[in-house]
């Protein structure tokens, strides 16, 4: 499993995943950091096979409306 943690997810969560054998990155460490749009995050996740972990309801709603491949937790 590969996990991409959205900006509202604590970096400690990302570190927890990494320490437990899960490939994990935080959006603040890639792309445009906290300025990255949900659309760019979704595209990146689709391209690289990540599941997005987010608290952002707008992100989940846009995922459902656009029917992107990216799983959202």
Low-confidence winner among 3-7, 47-51, 60-64 (lowest mean pLDDT)? 60-64
pLDDT at 42 over 90: no
pLDDT: which is higher, 19 or 51: 19
Structure tokens belonging to residue 19: 């320490």
Q: How many CB atoms lie within 10 A of CB 51?
A: 15
What confidence score (pLDDT) does residue 4 get? 94
At which residue do the structure tokens 């987010």 appear? 54
Integer Cα distance of 22 and 14 in angstroms:
9
What pTM value is reported for the model?
A: 0.79
What confidence score (pLDDT) does residue 15 get? 96
Integer Cα distance of 50 and 25 in angstroms:
9
Integer Cα distance of 9 and 56 in angstroms:
10
């Amino acid at each position: 499993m590969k996990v991409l943690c959205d900006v509202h997810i604590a970096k400690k969560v990302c570190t927890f995943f990494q320490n437990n054998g899960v490939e994990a990155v935080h959006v603040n460490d890639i792309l445009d950091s906290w300025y990255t749009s949900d659309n760019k995050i979704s595209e990146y996740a689709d391209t690289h096979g990540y599941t997005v972990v987010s608290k952002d309801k707008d992100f989940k709603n846009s995922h459902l409306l656009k029917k992107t491949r990216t799983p959202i937790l």
